Structure 1
Amino acid sequence: MFMHAPGFDLIGYKRDADGEVQYVPVRSEHQVLGYLWASDAENAASFEPRDVGNEDVHKEGLKWLDRLRSAYDRGLSPSQALAELADLSEADEPGTCDLVSLRRLTNEG
């Protein structure tokens, strides 16, 4: 969904990974909007929405992708970007996520 959004076709990091990734849920007040993920091994990071048809989730995802691009531009590795973004306080927009929820997932294939 976000891969073809204007201005976000290239955010610096690759947008897909085949191996292990770290991820955290991005939450709004009442729901999980999606997942912010990273893979240093593949220099990849992105936001994966839970509901690709929801316009509000799409808008929030664009904001997270913008933050990832900023982290890339500052020279952060994907996992450093994930840690920085996951540490945002609830007062920061959009949504919230935290390292307490950090998980690993292996996608082989």
Structure 2
Amino acid sequence: MKIPASDFPASTNQPVRYYPVALNGRTVGYLWASITDDAAYWQDRGDAGAVAKNVGVPWVLRLREAARQGLTPLEALREWRGAPEDPRAGAIPADAEEQQASSLQALKELTNPYPNTTDQPVRYYPVTLHGRTIGYLWASALDDAASFVAHADAGAATVWSRRLHEAAIKGLTPRQALCAWKGAPEDPNGGAIPDDAEEQSALSLQALTALVEQGGPVPLDRTRRGASTNARPRGNEGTVNR
């Protein structure tokens, strides 16, 4: 589906402010507004595919209406933060932080900070909420992929997607991002990686996904540690106690 034009210009070479937009717990794109001129528009998240374009349509229509009401781009950007989730447009989470990119191009480069799939072995931590495992934060052992795999009834994906996005902005590698929140206070929606959690290893992302979908042990990555990696943390390998 083609995203329509807005009454605000859709491009700028100035710094932009932006919010993540989530649908069913998954960040699918970003609503942005220029800081110094009249531009504002929608930016797809690269790994959301056609879903992002479908979600972008109502947001551009909202921007169009905001412009006709006399709102500035930044006022329009902030208009819908915390509003109830729309079944088509999703929502800007109430706890989302307004962020800034040095340019629209910089934002585009950050919309898919880490690939969310890999055919390589993965390292991961369990994420818990109120003492219950709700998913796993993972990073590839050999390439630049990283993401969060959630249980179906857990709404934590938006929190971890945002955290990985922030990690990319700070220049962290996926493996550094994986370890960055261990022991941090529990988020009311996203949970936490317990301070005593051990970094685990799986043969593949598919094996880790099977743990989430079916339960049970994850096949271990028994390849020799240190192969093709320089300073890979030496976490204990095994299964997660659930």
Q: TM-score, normalised by structure 2?
A: 0.38
- Corresponding residue to 1:6 among 4, 9, 28: 28
Name the counterpart of 1:43.
144
Name the counterpart of 2:125.
24
- Corresponding residue to 2:200 among 91, 103, 106: 103
The letter for the 1-side match of 2:143 is: E
Shift of 1:31: 1.6
The letter for the 1-side match of 2:130 is: E
Q: Deviations over 1:84-103 (max 9, x none)?
A: 0223133x453011363210
Q: Which has the higher contact order (CA 8 A, sep 6+)?
A: 1
Alignment of 1:20-99 (within 5 A): 20-51=121-152, 54=153, 57-58=154-155, 60-90=156-186, 92-93=187-188, 94-98=190-194
Shift of 1:43: 0.1
Distance of 2:167 and 2:202 partners within structure 1: 22
- The SS at the match of 2:197 is helix
Evaluate the alpha carbon distance shift between residue 108 and residue 88 of structure 1 in structure 2; reply closer, same or farther with a 3 A threshold.
closer
Distance of 2:205 and 2:136 partners within structure 1: 19
- Unmatched segments (≥5 aa) in structure 1: none
Evaluate the alpha carbon distance shift between residue 85 and residue 11 of structure 1 in structure 2; reply closer, same or farther with a 3 A threshold.
farther
Distance of 1:108 and 1:102 partners within structure 2: 15
The letter for the 1-side match of 2:181 is: L
Note if contact 2:136-2:149 (Cα within 8 Å) is conserved in structure 1.
yes
Q: Percent identity?
A: 30
- The SS at the match of 2:143 is coil
Distance of 1:108 and 1:63 partners within structure 2: 20
Distance of 2:204 and 2:166 partners within structure 1: 26
Evaluate the alpha carbon distance shift between residue 108 and residue 66 of structure 1 in structure 2; reply closer, same or farther with a 3 A threshold.
closer
Note if contact 1:35-1:49 (Cα within 8 Å) is conserved in structure 2.
yes
Q: Deviations over 1:4-40 (max 9, x none)?
A: 7422534310001111111011100042110000015
- The SS at the match of 2:185 is coil
Greater C-alpha Rg: 2
The letter for the 2-side match of 1:49 is: A
The letter for the 2-side match of 1:66 is: R
Distance of 1:85 and 1:70 partners within structure 2: 12
